[in-house]
Amino acid sequence: MTISIRSATPDDLPLIADLIRALADYEKLLHEVRFDNEVLRAKLFGARPYAEVIIGEVHGAAQGFALFFHNFSTFEGKPGVYLEDLFVRPEARGSGLGKALLARLAAIAVERDCARLEWSVLDWNEPAIGFYKKLGARMMDEWTVMRVDGAALVQLGAEAGNAV
């Protein structure tokens, strides 16, 4: 089996959009996908990229991706890599592509002197949880993800204007 991992280019935008939708469909969240292709292009490949993408190929055919960005650990005093999305098409699962994508991300984290590689996983996704544990990942059960978005984000941001 020939597996290769490469950095995405702007020409990969239709592929990235397709893989994002496939991931959302798998996670039963396709109804929440609402990105605009040109905004996504600007945020990934514009003057100030906010995230990076690597593409996984099996026998030269794109079968998966990982989208990631840097965060920062104040305790470590170093950046980290946060994996936002990892997806391998069903027909390529079991090929080693998922492990190859995560191994490349780990290598990127080491190359960039990062303290850690981390991500979130849906609690019902037992196949993914088992896969991650086999690779040495550990659950951070004492942490709960918090989020502010939509109208609440706008409202909270408006509060900044009221600060004295």
Determine the average pLDDT of the residues in 35-39: 97
Domain residue spans of the chain = 3-162
Determine the average pLDDT of the residues in 113-142: 92
Q: 3-state DSSP call for residue 46?
A: coil
Question: Mean pLDDT of all residues in the chain?
Answer: 95
Catalytic residue chosen out of the listed positions 26, 50, 82, 132 = 132
Asked if the model's pLDDT at residue 104 lies above 90, the reply is: yes
CATH architecture of 3-162: 3-Layer(aba) Sandwich (3.40)
Phi first, then psi: give them for residue 163, nearest 5 degrees. -70, 140
Asked if the model's pLDDT at residue 92 lies above 80, the reply is: yes
What pLDDT is recorded for position 161?
A: 79
Neighbours of 147 (CB within 10 A): 7
> Cβ contacts of residue 31 below 8 Å, gap of 6+?
none
- Whole-prediction pTM: 0.91
H-assigned helices in 27-149: 37-45, 97-111, 126-134
Binned at pLDDT 50, 70 and 90, residue 163 comes out as low
Binned at pLDDT 50, 70 and 90, residue 88 comes out as very high
What pLDDT is recorded for position 145?
A: 86
Catalytic-residue membership of 50: no
